[in-house]
Chains A and B, each alone.
Chain A
Amino acid sequence: MTTTLPLLLLMTSLLPAAVTFFLAQDSHILRNTLQLGGAVIKLGLIVWMLFAVATGATYEAEFPLAPGLVILLRIDALALLFISLSGALWLLTTIYAIAYFGTKAELSRFFGFFSLCVAATTGLALSGSLISFFIFFELLTLSTWPLVAHKQNKPSLAAAKVYFTYALPGSAALLWAIIWLESATGPVLFTEPPDLSGLDPAALRAIFALFIIGVGVKAALVPLHGWLPAAMAAPAPVSALLHAVAVVKAGAFGVVRIVYDVFGAENMTALGVGVPLAIVASVTIVWGSFRALQQDEIKKRLAFSTVSQVSYIVLGAALASPLAMIGGLVHLVHQGLMKITLFFCAGIYDERAGIKRIEGLNGMGKQMPWTSACFSIGAMGMIGLPPLAGFISKFYLGLGAMEAGAPWVLAVLLASTLLNAAYFLPLLYRLWFLPRAEDARGDERASGLVLPAVVTAAATLGVGLLAASPISPLGWATLIVTQGYGP
């Protein structure tokens, strides 16, 4: 069972993808069964694996392609964190997407690529070596492109083109970095940090920069973030997936892997690359928030907010102190929960009330109470109000900054929090306190849309309230850091 489980996890999304492509447009029941079935089985496998890993089981599957080119699937604590997040949110997004699309056109194509995208994310989470990581990273690019272009109208096709224009040079940089590094160290496995002594520091700094450029495109680090707001032309479930689980998160996950499993905290300090990365992350955090403030479209505002929020994860990794890392890792989960809630809600406003711009939110709180309550929880979490998820992340990042001897980071966190409040609070004010426009109508009679949002909003509250429990994301992140990277 130790080798089959990682493959099974991959198959729970690959097989539905392979079958879905060939289904007729109107075989809704079969398609939905495949999608939901795959998601439920995957979640079940993940839960089962969580228990098994807790009792000391290890899982590894190897698939050689050529000498040095080996797909290695391994389950470690970090992989579990990411895969649990993606497994849970995939199920919710599938429910949401089925309700969202109803009987619209080209559904088999959409859900085929949707499953493929999740398969790529699963593979990415399970990757045990750099080259496997790269392979799934590319598969993710390829499978998300048709999702971004799904509507096939001018803005989506333009957005898809912009996406490729950013992503492919990023991949080239990443592949270059991997091959350069491995030419000196041999194939890099995440279990044992490579011996970097064969490369001189200047080369290592260049490799590190290439790595960060490569994954930074997906993580939307400024100035490589331009594709993300453009990709808002995609349907709402795609945005939710892109921002919370798949693409952006894959980039942030990549940063964590590269910082901790490839270079290691000590080497980062010795090379002096941690501080520049922290500065890039800080600039991204502030710039993303600042740009969010200027957006009048709800989805655009959320997109720039993602640019900003994801860099908390990068910041936590860059600071390279245990507490900061806990903050970054836990934000990997927390940001996913909060952002997917917000996008679910933005999709509901658009779909059920035709609201795209922030003015439209005026007074909708009473019209659409569930949606608006969820949206408010997500937004307050993003601002970092206790006891919500975002507060925990920011608290640990702040502590970590002090621990790492970088008190200036506190200023960044403070500025970002103020900006977060500045661009989210007016939305809440509009929702609950402003009078509704005469002709504004909205309803929530679509449980498939509202239920996922309620679940993720409850989770946003729950992970904050129960943060002290060992099975919370915080407990898990603490375990990862103390086990793997403790001093």
Chain B
Amino acid sequence: MTALISWLVLPLFAALAAIALPSRARLPAALLGVGLTVVASIWLTIEVWNTGAVTVSLGGWRPPIGIALRADGLGAALGVMTALVMVAVALAARHELAAKVAGPRIGFGFWPLMLLLWAALNAVYVARDLFNLYVGLELITLTAVALVAISGKAAAIAAALRYLLFALAGSLLYLAGVVLTYAAHGTLDISLLAARTVAPGDALALGLMTAGLLVKTALFPFHVWLPPAHSAAPAPASALLSALVPKASLLILLRIWFEAMPELATPMTQSALASLGALAVIWGGVLALLQSRLKLIVAYSTVAQLGYIFLVFPLAGGDGAAQPWAAGAWTGAIFQMLAHGLAKAAMFLAAGIYIAAIGSDRLGDMRGLARALPMTGFAFALASITLLGLPPSAGFTAKYLMMTAAFASGQWAWALVPAGGGLLAAAYLYRPLSAIFARDTALTPRPIPWAWQTVPLVLAALSVALGLLSSIPFEFLQIGRPEQAAEGL
């Protein structure tokens, strides 16, 4: 319990400290906050591993009177991934966004926003109440929009405004669904909702909440706000936005569909969600192929990579009795969330290094950068392996689990999505890689500190290591797994 609470409040306090303290103490306070929160997330993970899902009723009041927090394998695993990305981003931001390099606004504003985002993400990972989830989601959106706009450039402000409008529309849709649910059932607790008697308005409520969350997750065709927003932010902020922010709304979607209202799922709605996911894979991939700036390629790849996760709706469960490993689609989807988080953060941080070195992320300007910055090139290549879903990366584990589930449940056509999507990813990632590894050099890069160069490399290596050591996280993710994840919607 202490672990869970400190994991929630530590980043919050650190965020406040990074605003309130005198300017010399802000950065140390922020870094201390990062360190302490990492310790708390390790502590929480150990507790979940040892004793199973950790549940806390705030103030000792159980739902429906009070509200509950619950850290299950899924929430804690996302928490660990978030902690890893946060540490990496903090280490990169120390160099990249130092006040004397990036100006006082970014130097001052980045740290509280990052820590606030962390607190909000953690809150969403463990919240069991639809309204609490809404509050967490709003906090994430507001910090994310601020991170997009932080540079103050016109393009960034425009992208942030567009993001804000989409996000507000999404919030309203989601909130409308929450209101309908509360009106019908008098509770918003996920576990209590699971045991409710179905009311006629539930389908509408689910539809509204889902639509709102799809906008926030940037699923095709609601993705148009994402690439400009993610590419306009400074690279460490982009890493947070792309690796973590969409995972929060996606997690809420999983919680509602698999835990709160699983009985409302119909084969048609499941296929519709997965079809949008498949279209996202194709559309995101094709647009990534057409971009000439590295950050835009990486941002469009986020649209594509998030698409895979939506295959979980028709594929979870499957013919589990006949083939015991076939119930892996749910775990596979979460592996994809984790793998994508690590690899995508690595890619944006690598892009940040390139921008710091040559002041541009145009593919033509990046030619030959691997010669001066070999570790960064290697990091980008490793992260690409994960996004391609090639063994032994965690991306492969995700793809394998989803494809086996597709075949085992007799829906093999869905397996075409990861198989084809991997080839598309190879096509759009080959272009930046061949530019980076070209023999001729376009520009002479400024020197980059060695410690900074190792950051994306470690993250990318972790995304591969997660695949090599996937049996432990696989088991961890089964802790507190909802029944429907094993039996299908």
Contact = CB atoms under 8 A, between A and B. Distances in A.
B324 A157 contact: no
Contacts of A134: 391
**Size bracket of the A interface:** 20 to 34
Contacts of A164: 426, 430
Contact of A176 (B408, B419, B471): B419
A69 B419 contact: no
Interface string B382-401: 00010000111000110011
Nearest to B331: A66
Contact of B408 (A21, A152, A183): A183
B467 A179 contact: no
B307 interface: no
Contact of A65 (B408, B415, B434, B470): B470
Interface in B457-475: 467-471, 474
A82 to B, nearest CB: 20
A124 B396 CA distance: 18
Contact of B403 (A109, A142, A169, A179): A179
Main DSSP-derived SS at the B contact region: helix
Interface string A135-166: 10011011000000100110001000100100
A66 B401 contact: yes
A152 B438 contact: yes
Contacts of A139: 391-392
Interface string B276-300: 0000000000000000000000000
Contacts of B419: 172, 175-176
B385 A65 contact: no
Interface string B191-218: 0000000000000000000000000000
Interface residues of B, number: 38
Contact of A179 (B331, B378, B400, B471): B400
Contacts of A370: none
A182 interface: yes
Interface in A34-71: 64-69
B328 A176 contact: no
Contact of A153 (B325, B396, B404, B439): B439
Contacts of A131: 400
Contacts of A168: 422-423, 426
Contacts of B266: none
Nearest to B468: A65
B61 interface: no
| Closest 6 pairs between A and B when the two form their complex, measured CB to CB | A183-B407, A68-B325, A67-B325, A152-B439, A135-B391, A65-B470
Interface of B: 323-326, 328, 331, 374, 378, 385, 390-392, 396-397, 400-401, 403-404, 407-408, 412, 415, 419-420, 422-423, 426, 430, 434, 437-439, 467-471, 474
21 contacts: A21-B378, A65-B474, A66-B328, A66-B400, A67-B324, A68-B323, A68-B325, A135-B391, A138-B390, A138-B391, A152-B437, A168-B423, A168-B426, A171-B390, A172-B422, A172-B423, A176-B403, A180-B407, A182-B404, A182-B407, A183-B323
Interface of A: 21, 64-69, 109, 131, 134-135, 138-139, 141-142, 149, 152-153, 157, 161, 164, 168-169, 171-172, 175-176, 179-180, 182-183, 186
